[in-house]
Amino acid sequence: MPDEYSRYLQSLNDKQREAACSDISIPLMIVAGPGSGKTSTMVGRVLMLLNEGVSPSNILAMTFTTAAASEMRERICAVAGKARAKELTISTFHSFSLQLCRSHAEKIERTAEFLIYGHGQQRRAIIEAVRLLENEKSGQQHNSCKSSGIENSNGVRHFKDRSKKWQKFVIQAKASGRTPEDCRKMGDQIGAEVLGNYNDILRSCNALDYHDLIICSVKLLTEYDAVYKECQDSWKAIIVDEFQDTSATQYRLLRILASHNHITVVGDDDQSIFSFNGADISGFDSFRKDFTSYKEIRLVRNYRSTRSIVEAASCLIQNNTKRCPSKNFLSENAYGSKITIKECYNEDAQCAFVVDKILEIASNSTAGSSSYGNIAILYRRQVTGRVFQTTLRNRKIPFNLHGVAFYRKKVVRAIIAMLKTTLPTCDDSPYRKVFKALLPLEKEEKKRVIEHVEKITECRKCSFISAACDIFNAKISGTFKRSQLTQGRKVLQTLEMISRLVRRKYLLEQRAVIDVDGGKLLNEDNDVRSVLEYLLDDVSDFLSTQSTDRKEKIETGEEKGSVSLLNSFIDYITERERENFRSRRRDNENSVTLTTIHQSKGLEWDTVFIVKANETEIPLLHEFNGAATENGTSLEEERRLLYVAMSRARQKLFILYVTVDSNWQMLQPSRFLKEIPDHLREIQAEVTRNDLKTTHQVIAKGTERFSMDLPSKKQSIEADMVQNNFPDAQDGASKETIESVEACNGSNFLKRFGVEERS
């Protein structure tokens, strides 16, 4: 055995080593808490397999997110070297299935270039499916301008509202593998029809959604012996990390792939946080039932975090009722510092606190160590990350774009959409997307322009883009202002230029060319240019994941610029787009990580800030998105989410919440914070100078916003402020401010100072 391998295996504890070295022919399940070395054990298992002579190209490691996949690849790389790591298939369920579906597209009634519908496109198809059903019912003719509801924006909105509900239905049905026929058998006639219509629409558009990828893979494996045999020959050993997040259909896929029983799964039921996407922890039970000769190993020691963090996280999760009962969890590490729970006035104050702390940590770190790289800011929703991006950028603190809404940027979406337009397809939605993204008009104006183009598209039954061309090149007299016409025309020109650029396939052939052309083309627009640069990084990353074989072909020109390569690149980008994931840039390793909690799975940092831990975020009380109902199971999922976030920290954990939102509404701290025992946390809720400065700004803004009327309680506020060291509380100007703020009926900051709302 190579020295590095044996050194690695020696570094594991007995249980971990037992798991890593156990016989491949026995199905293995590891259930253990966060930081207990599950992923480390998987890495050990891969090394063992390689050592036993299993070819790296016969090993399939499945993870749930792209972030987790690249984490695993990096860890294997560090021991086994880049060359071997590259030969392994470390893939998410989706990218694995996508490849399978592309190779056998004709068997699933698609062509190899089929499109993948993301959330938005799925929603649009669902609206159409529901509309079709209603039109059938009312006997109206589908497709005429009238019945499409396009001229009536209320109608569209009405459809959209209900489509949310239907989208949830479709996702759940697909994740659990229900067909329209199954719905019918269950007595759900309408559900069956919507699902059926939706499937028909996707078929006619040569598209699949993410759940279809898994469903179709299962279909390919069960209905086509040749495909099954091909997979059996390819994948001699299957390893699955984060098993708790697999859906019922994903489990079926695994079950078939692993009919040779050479499967290892690791997971933690307490970290299941993707149920809104169909994840189903009953996979553990199914595994026990289906792989009868299985062996189960538990790992109990947490190596990652200080004892305070481990104990606090366990106390939190013990409030969940639905969990694997005998799971223990302990830490032999020192207690370390307590968890800081910090109250901030608003998001600006929160951001200021975090940034100051980051600078403090950086200034205390020894020279040469990657201080920023050991810090992460975690949040529930992307939108919370925005203020951090801006502030970190202004303060010149490097941060990486991992998990930042890069792929949500309009220009990025536009360029990706443009790439997609190079694929033969009968759907012109990418053009629509680009057009919308690039049109630089006010929201209302833009809406009107788009609606008009859509109306023409619908009435003339032509493509969106030809309708747009006709309008803006003035073949049809429109009702637009001159400026709107000019903008429309400009967008069409840009569109045409990007399209030409992409069609010439420079993107993959010559970085330099797109660099120059792209720069020239969009000279005025720095944003577009920097986006192109980032995308070029993705091109390099993408090429680095390609097999040596294929890379050779690319280099020798055999595959230069071919559609299939472009296709794989688009798949690669699309998956990242879906997950909103960007890998760490190599030159950016010493950077603070900004990411959502969902994307932080499996990762770890010395210092972690969980920001905006408020009610409204964790738990996210939302009607459709995994609805955290008061007592329902989803409330437990919300608790798991905080648990995942807390258990990312090695040394120091900060949990922050804010007291007012940007609309001056009072916000409550997350109910889960009370579940962290007192002796493990320190609460910083006192009013500090910095907070007061912010309050000052808040008050000033409040003055702008509300009408004034002289209050009755100004003295008590003043007294409070003076007592709390409010710096200028006694000068005349700020007294006025206080008065005016107090005058705002129901103003929230008054509550901060113990002032009752006036009735």
Exposure string over 335-369, b if 16+ CB within 10 A, otherwise e: ebebbbbbbbbbbbbbbbbbbebbeebbeeeeeee
Of 218 and 240, which has the nearer Cβ to ligand ATP?
240
For tokens 């909103």, name the residue. Answer: 580
Contact between 264 and Mg ion per CB under 5 A: no
Cα–Cα distance list, 749 to 314, 390, 658, 695 (Å): 35, 26, 12, 8
Q: How is the beta sheet containing 295-299 ordered, strand by strand? A: 89-92, 59-63, 237-240, 263-267, 28-32, 295-299
Kindly state the tokens that stand for 278: 């169909």
Shortest Å, Cβ 242 to Mg ion: 7
Shortest Cβ 687–Mg ion spacing (Å): 40
d(CA 738, CA 696): 9
With CB cut-offs between 5 and 8 Å by kind, which of Mg ion, ligand ATP, none does residue 37 bind?
ligand ATP
Ranked by CB distance to Mg ion, the top (closest) residue is 39
In the list Mg ion, ligand ATP, none, the entry touching 12 (Cβ below 5 to 8 angstroms by class) is ligand ATP
- Does 336 count as an annotated binding residue? no
Q: Which of residues 296-355 bind Mg ion (CB under 5 A)?
A: none
Q: How far is CA 228 from CA 174, 277, 412, in A?
A: 22, 27, 38
Q: Is 36 annotated as a binding residue?
A: yes
Which of the ranges 35-43, 103-111, 147-155, 492-500 carries the binding residues for Mg ion, by CB under 5 A?
35-43
**Residue with CB nearest ligand ATP?**
37
Spatial separation of the C-alpha atoms in residues 382 and 628, rounded to whole Å = 19
35 is in an annotated binding site: yes
Residue span binding Mg ion (CB under 5 A) among the ranges 33-41, 535-543, 688-696, 728-736: 33-41
Beta carbons within 8 Å of 205's beta carbon, 6+ residues apart: 115, 125, 425, 426, 427
Q: How far is the CB of 305 from ligand ATP (least distance, A)?
A: 9
User: Which among ligand ATP, Mg ion, none contacts residue 637 (Cβ within 5 to 8 A by kind)?
Assistant: none
**Interaction partner, residue 16 (Mg ion, ligand ATP, none; CB < 5-8 Å by kind):** ligand ATP
323 vs 735, beta carbon nearer ligand ATP: 323
Coil, helix or strand at residue 221: helix
Q: Does 39 bind Mg ion (CB under 5 A)?
A: yes
Q: Per the annotation, does 669 bind a ligand?
A: no
Q: Of 240 and 521, which CB lies nearer to Mg ion in the complex structure? A: 240
Report residue 453 as tokens: 């183009």
List Cα–Cα distances, 53 to 57, 116, 429, in angstroms. Answer: 11, 37, 48
Q: How far is the CB of 92 from ligand ATP (least distance, A)?
A: 15
Q: How far is the CB of 642 from ligand ATP (least distance, A)?
A: 14
Q: Indicate the residue among 24 and 30 with the shorter CB distance to ligand ATP.
A: 30
**Residue 560 annotated as binding site:** no
Among 694, 27, 24, residue whose Cα is nearest residue 387: 694
379 secondary structure, DSSP code = E
Compute how many other C-beta atoms are within 10 angstroms of the C-beta atom of residue 260: 14
Neighbours of 286 (CB within 10 A): 16
- List of residues 6+ apart from 737 with CB closer than 8 A: 696, 699, 700, 703
User: Which of ligand ATP, Mg ion, none binds 13 (CB below 5-8 Å, type-dependent)?
Assistant: ligand ATP
Please say whether the beta carbons of 264 and 6 come within 8 A.
no
Closest separation in Å from C-beta 320 to ligand ATP: 16
Vertex 622 angle, CA 616 and 626, to 5°: 115
> Residue 146 annotated as binding?
no
How near is the Cβ of 279 to Mg ion at its closest, in Å?
16
Question: Residues 343, 684: contact at Cβ < 8 Å?
Answer: yes
Residue 10 vs 321, nearer CB to ligand ATP: 10
CB of residue 272 to ligand ATP, shortest distance in Å: 11
Alpha-carbon distance of 545 to 89, in angstroms, equals: 10
| Nearest distance in Å: CB 87, ligand ATP | 22
518 binds, among ligand ATP, Mg ion, none (CB under 5 to 8 A by kind): none
In the complex, least distance from residue 268 CB atom to ligand ATP, rounded to whole angstroms? 5
Closest CB 169 distance from ligand ATP, rounded Å: 32
By C-beta, is 163 or 651 nearer to ligand ATP? 651
Residue 38 vs 582, nearer CB to Mg ion: 38
Distance CA 264, CA 429 (A): 41
317: partner contacted, choices Mg ion, ligand ATP, none (Cβ within 5-8 A by kind): none
DSSP structural state of residue 320: -
Cβ closer to ligand ATP: 34 or 711? 34
For residue 721, which of 737, 710, 708, 706 has the smallest C-alpha distance? Answer: 737
Query: Which single residue is written with the structure tokens 């059926």?
Result: 196
Q: Residue 117: in which H helix or E strand, if any? A: strand 115-117
State which amino acid sits at residue 323: R
Footprint of ligand ATP (CB under 6 A): 11-13, 16, 32, 34-40, 268, 271, 303-304, 602, 604, 647
Least distance CB 388 / ligand ATP (angstroms): 23
557 is in an annotated binding site: no
Pick 532 or 644: Cβ nearer ligand ATP: 644
Of 206 and 600, nearer to ligand ATP (C-beta) is 600
* 278 binds, options ligand ATP, Mg ion, none, Cβ within 5 to 8 A by partner type: none
Please list, in sequence order, all residues whose beta carbon lies within 8 angstroms of the beta carbon of residue 144, skipping any fewer than 6 positions away. Answer: none
Of 127 and 281, the one with the shorter C-beta distance to ligand ATP is 281
**Number of residues that make up the chain:** 759
Among 283, 403, 602, 626, binds Mg ion (CB under 5 A): 602
* Structural tokens at position 159: 């459809």
* Chosen from ligand ATP, Mg ion, none, partner binding at 734 (C-beta under 5 to 8 Å by type): none
Q: Is the distance from CB of 692 to CB of 727 less than 8 angstroms? A: yes
Strand, helix or coil for residue 255: helix
- Which of Mg ion, ligand ATP, none is residue 34 near (CB under 5 to 8 Å by kind)? ligand ATP
Q: Is 148 in the site for Mg ion (CB under 5 A)?
A: no
Query: Binds 311, which of ligand ATP, Mg ion, none (CB < 5 to 8 A, cut-off by type)?
Result: none
Q: Which stretch binds Mg ion (CB under 5 A): 34-42, 208-216, 373-381, 605-613?
A: 34-42
Q: How many residues of this chain bind Mg ion (CB under 5 A)?
A: 3
> Is residue 372 within 8 Å of residue 592, measured between CB atoms?
yes
* Furthest-apart CA atoms within the chain: distance in Å: 85
In angstroms, give the least distance from the CB of 245 to Mg ion: 11
In the complex with ligand ATP, the residue whose CB is nearer, 15 or 211, is: 15
Based on CB atoms, which residue is closest to Mg ion, 159 or 303? 303
**Residue 758: helix, strand or coil by DSSP?**
coil
Please check whether residue 512 is in contact with residue 504, taking contact to mean a CB–CB distance below 8 angstroms: no
The single-letter DSSP state of residue 366 is P
> Binding residue per annotation — 39?
yes
Q: Which residues bind Mg ion (CB under 5 A)?
A: 38-39, 602
Which residues line the annotated binding site?
32-39
Binding-site residue set for ATP = 32-39
